[in-house]
Amino acid sequence: MQVHVVDEEIASRRSLGLILQRLGHRVRFFVSGHALVTAQDVEPGCVLLDLCTSDLAALDVLNELSDRRDTLPAIIIARLDDFGTAVSAMKMGAIDVLAKPVQPNELATSIELAESTLQRASRRQDLAKRAETRLQRLTRREREVLAGVARGQTNKTIGVDLGISPRTVEIHRAHLTEKLDVHNLSELLRLVYESELGDDDAAA
């Protein structure tokens, strides 16, 4: 697991680095939030972010990382009097909060949570890619009909929206099930849901 530690205190960075290395993780240090968010070569992993890093507020760092939340889940380190801000950080997408000084067993648990977060995100992306590959078999009109089906519309309503007859809609729906190799409406809707997971992640 790659862990990106953002902490401006040398002693704190050393302490966290020793714990993480003993846990078997790779560590990269950043002395500021700005250094992290502007780096061009940050590989997927988790971010260990000290709220006391002062050059760029922790909430600003989380905001800058919002479009990379699935590849860089953030764990906040906070003093007891910073927990109001820590709660705000959780609302902005941080996956956990650790009290300072950090205890090795608590850090290990948080890192495991980050690993699970990355694995779930990877599975979602895989599902979305496979589903979209199947949907690419459809014509533009078939995808329009599929969108109506996903909204729960009847053939008549879909036909009115698209300017075609309900019978034509029915033919397109038959093509959908054949091209996508699905056997019922439930499988069809599941495929649509899976294809949208990637879009949801990107917008998160």
Q: What does the domain layout of the chain look like in residue ranges?
A: 2-124, 137-203
How confident is the model at residue 2, as a pLDDT? 95
How confident is the model at residue 55, as a pLDDT? 52
Residue 65 has pLDDT above 90, yes or no: no
| For range 19-42, the mean pLDDT | 91
How confident is the model at residue 124, as a pLDDT? 86
Q: Does 2-124 match 137-203 in CATH topology?
A: no
Higher pLDDT, 83 or 76: 76
Residue 46 has pLDDT above 50, yes or no: yes
| For range 93-98, the mean pLDDT | 91
Instruction: Tell me the C-alpha distance between 64 and 79, whole Å.
Output: 23
pLDDT band of residue 201 (cuts 50, 70, 90) is very low
**Stated pTM of the model:** 0.69
How confident is the model at residue 199, as a pLDDT? 54
C-beta pairs of 114-123 under 8 Å, 24+ apart in sequence: 114/1, 114/45, 114/46, 114/73, 114/75, 115/1, 115/46, 117/46, 117/70, 117/73, 118/44, 118/45, 118/46, 118/70, 118/71, 118/73, 121/70, 121/71, 121/201
How confident is the model at residue 30, as a pLDDT? 92
Residue 29 has pLDDT above 90, yes or no: yes
CATH of 2-124, one of 3.20.20.70, 3.40.50.2300, 1.20.810.10, 3.40.50.970: 3.40.50.2300
Helix (H, G, I), strand (E, B) or coil at 27: strand
Average model confidence (pLDDT) for the chain?
88
CATH architecture of the domain with residue range 137-203: Orthogonal Bundle (1.10)
Residue 170 has pLDDT above 60, yes or no: yes
